[in-house]
Amino acid sequence: MLSVKVVALCFVVLGVVAVGGVRAANPVVVMETNMGTIKIELFEDKAPITVKNFLSYAKDKHYDGLIFHRVIEDFMIQGGGFEPGMKEKKTKDPIKNESDNGLSNLRGTIAMARLGVDRGGVKKEDSATAQFFINVKDNKGLDGAPGKASGYTVFGRVTEGMDVVDKIRAVKTGMKNGYDDVPSDDVVIKSVKLVEEKK
């Protein structure tokens, strides 16, 4: 006959398995570029509005064919807003800032870019649309604070392909069409696709 302790342990294990089975894994996207592949885990639990927004753009193929248009070697690489030739692509409405979610702009994290000024009744804090950046070093100065969403929302992290990010950060840049820090040769985002989880 099983002891009370063994039976209790079995219930604990079964409970953990059940909870684990219910809890869905964070979504993962694969970003194909002309310089390699970057895999990114999205923190849906910490930044639900931002992740939903990013996945919506990915589903609509908004990012396909766009470029990393702003590259600063010791800061970040930014994309999601311009086609080759620095032609800006139309976006959806801006989203609420979630930078008070406790996540920090550390190397390898992905965050939302936004306007530097209030515009058209939209506060700069809540002006993110489709553009994002990947931090190539720790940039804690970009963080929000608990209860104060005034920073740049971190919503995921690179899990594979930081070598590709580092290749991109090292490209030669200059001025194009009035914009600084634009890669001399286009760094193209071929696609951003959600990885389907196996069931």
Answer for the pair 29, 193: CB distance below 8 angstroms, yes or no: yes
Q: Which two tokens stand for residue 188?
A: 């193209």
pLDDT at 12 over 70: no
Q: pLDDT tens digits for 138-169? A: 999 999 998 888 999 999 999 999 999 999 99
Q: Rounded distance, CA 28 to CA 5, Å?
A: 40
Q: Rounded distance, CA 100 to CA 144, Å?
A: 5
Q: Name the pLDDT band for 71 (thresholds 50, 70, 90).
A: very high
Domain boundaries, the chain: 25-194
Q: Rounded distance, CA 52 to CA 197, Å?
A: 17
Q: What is the pLDDT of residue 85?
A: 96
Q: Rounded distance, CA 165 to CA 61, Å?
A: 21
Q: In this structure, which topology does domain 25-194 adopt according to CATH?
A: Cyclophilin (2.40.100)
What is the 8-class DSSP label of residue 192? E
Q: What is the pTM of this model?
A: 0.86
